[in-house]
Amino acid sequence: MTDIKGNKVLLIAVIIAVAASAVWTANYKLHFNGFFLNDAHDFGQMARNIYEGRGFKTSVLRPINIIHFKQIPYPEVTRPPLFPLILAGLFSVFGVNDFAIVLSGAIAYVALAVLTFLVAMKLTESYLIALFGSVLASFHLYFLPQGILGTSDLVYAACFMGFIYFYLRKQELIFWHGVIIGLLYLLRTNTLFVAIPLLLMELRRRDATARWNSFLLFSVGALIPIFPYLVRNYIDTGSPLFSLHKYTLALETRTYPGFTLWTQINDVSAGRFFLDHPGEVFRKFSNSMISLKREFFASFQFPGVVMLLAGLTLPLKGTDLQKIRRLVLWIILLQLVLISPMGSGGLRFYMFLIPLAVISFGAVISRFSETAASSREVLAAVLAIVAVVMLYPSLEYWKDRSAVSQPNLSVEFGKTLKAMTGKEDVIASDIAWEISWYADRKTVWLPYDPDTLRKISASVPVKYVFLSVLITRPFAAYKDDTWQRMFLKPDSIKVEGLEFVQQFYLNNYPVGILYKVAQIN
């Protein structure tokens, strides 16, 4: 970027930051009404445990974890720790509330817009392409809601783009590349699929001696931030790599539909499950690919899909551009092959790569426009048309007020249960994460059946069972319809040890029901 004045780039970056901040603020005021995804509630309750001095622990017990832990809270073994740590830091400034969490999305939203511009400038030296990429990363319908969801996805996308910018400016600092990759791993574990191709690309362009030194530098750098986390896992679980994800291969299969396995006390071996049920795993892989395709088209529609595919496949100029695009393609391939069989390969696992694909598309158009007499005007016209086509669906999002026009039941249930239960009471529920965050209570995700609830209560005494309207379309297949009947027809079913307390209504429609656990035999 030697022929471009740094002050001009800085000024535009500041303007982008101000514009993105204004967009996020409007989005927050028009659409935020608490959190609807249980990922946000989960991160929130973990961050609260850190903030209140209990360490990196969760107050939500998945029934399967009773195999390994006999108390609540217990060490978190599903999600990495960096995002909850960030939230705990925000709690110390803004208090333990929704705003502190959603503020992380605001920072990430603005940072992604600015960093997309800076990365595009570094790769293409084109203001048109850089602005095109930044605008789509700010205003596209897929990215707008991400800023107020309260999850780590947008934060990871911004941090990843920050790493790319650092990498492009300091390609020789492979030790620090490793350090940043290690930090990104603590934010999202699929960073492993970034580290592998990145390291191989770097080793490939060095001689034999330099390769060995580079491998050591990168590995040591990556291990420095990760090592304390591995030690913590070893102390708490006996294994540095222990994770609930070891059961993921068996989830969403015919044997264990949806998240059924997590509601059971069943220590399934993933390797044995694959050997015994290879057809189910391959079927899940196929279904994951189909689901990803549908989500891709639903989020970006046909013009957007064509744009992204063009950016990832058509010829372009520039050594760094080609290198970054190869990295993106390798990450996509590795995630398709290794994440999809787990059944969790949604579009959010690829979101952090989309700005780079958009930049590549701009570079592709720039290359083809060079043959025109007025290449800059042609490039500007094409990018403007594509931007209008891509952003037009966002208009409906801005018109939609459904999120704020009705109560967020998670918030309402949290307030009610906080008032009706004690601080140390344990509540089993199909919305365990929502209750844990909004009611500040220890919770158990609704077990497979009442017998499983009794087994859990032998170690972790459950005081209440709360069933929400979502139990009529649960994320797990329970043993039978007992829980559903307890919600829909409480007068016609009696379960030993459970006593009806109260039913909750919204507009005369039942939305929740509370039972008290009277005894455990």
- Per-residue pLDDT averaged across 414-428, rounded? 95
Residue 349 has pLDDT above 70, yes or no: yes
| Cα–Cα distance measured from residue 348 to residue 145, given in angstroms and rounded to the nearest whole number | 12
How confident is residue 507, by pLDDT bands cut at 50, 70 and 90?
confident
E strands, 360-484, where? Answer: 426-429, 442-445, 464-468
- Per-residue pLDDT averaged across 207-230, rounded? 91
Q: How far is CA 234 from CA 81, 227, 229, 238, in A?
A: 15, 11, 9, 4
Which range in 101-115, 136-150, 331-345 is most confidently predicted, on average pLDDT? Answer: 101-115
Q: Which has more confidence, 211 or 386? A: 386
How confident is residue 519, by pLDDT bands cut at 50, 70 and 90?
low
Q: In this predicted model, what pLDDT tens digit does every residue of 14-31 receive, in sequence order?
A: 999 999 999 999 999 999
- Per-residue pLDDT averaged across 425-446, rounded? 96
**pLDDT at res. 375:** 80
- Per-residue pLDDT averaged across 231-260, rounded? 87
**pLDDT at res. 345:** 63
| Cα–Cα distance measured from residue 144 to residue 138, given in angstroms and rounded to the nearest whole number | 7
250: its two tokens: 């068996």
| Cα–Cα distance measured from residue 36 to residue 156, given in angstroms and rounded to the nearest whole number | 20
Exposure string of 210-238, with b = 16+ CB inside 10 Å and e = fewer, is: eeeebbebbbebbeebbeebeeebeebbe
| Cα–Cα distance measured from residue 13 to residue 36, given in angstroms and rounded to the nearest whole number | 32
- Per-residue pLDDT averaged across 270-275, rounded? 87
Alpha helices in 32-126 (DSSP H): 38-51, 82-94, 98-124
On average, the pLDDT of the chain sits at 92
* C-alpha radius of gyration, the chain, whole number: 25
- Per-residue pLDDT averaged across 298-326, rounded? 92
Contacts of 91 (CB under 8 A, 6+ apart): 47, 48, 51, 100
Contacts of 286 (CB under 8 A, 6+ apart): none
Q: Do 468 and 511 touch, CB atoms closer than 8 A?
A: yes
Q: In this predicted model, what pLDDT tens digit does every residue of 44-78 receive, in sequence order?
A: 999 999 999 999 999 999 999 999 899 999 999 88
The three-state secondary structure class of 496 is coil
Contacts of 346 (CB under 8 A, 6+ apart): 291, 292, 295
Q: In this predicted model, what pLDDT tens digit does every residue of 383-405 receive, in sequence order?
A: 999 999 999 999 999 998 888 88
Which range in 145-149, 266-270, 318-322 is most confidently predicted, on average pLDDT? Answer: 145-149
| Peptide bond just before 407 cis, omega within 30 deg | no
> Out of 129-133, 430-434, 446-450, 492-496, which region has the weakest mean confidence (pLDDT)?
492-496
How confident is residue 5, by pLDDT bands cut at 50, 70 and 90?
low
How confident is residue 174, by pLDDT bands cut at 50, 70 and 90?
very high
Alpha helices in 140-191 (DSSP H): 153-169, 174-187
The three-state secondary structure class of 340 is helix
Q: Which has more confidence, 403 or 220? A: 220
How confident is residue 219, by pLDDT bands cut at 50, 70 and 90?
very high
E strands, 294-369, where? Answer: none
Q: Do 413 and 435 touch, CB atoms closer than 8 A?
A: yes
Torsion angle in degrees (nearest 10) through CA of 272, 278, 279, 285: 110
**pLDDT at res. 344:** 62
The arrangement of strands across the sheet holding 509-517 comes to 60-61, 442-445, 426-429, 464-468, 509-517, 498-506
Choose among 102, 120, 110: nearest CA to 15: 110
| Cα–Cα distance measured from residue 127 to residue 4, given in angstroms and rounded to the nearest whole number | 10
Residue 1 has pLDDT above 50, yes or no: no
- Per-residue pLDDT averaged across 335-354, rounded? 85
Q: Which helix (H) or strand (E) holds 339?
A: none
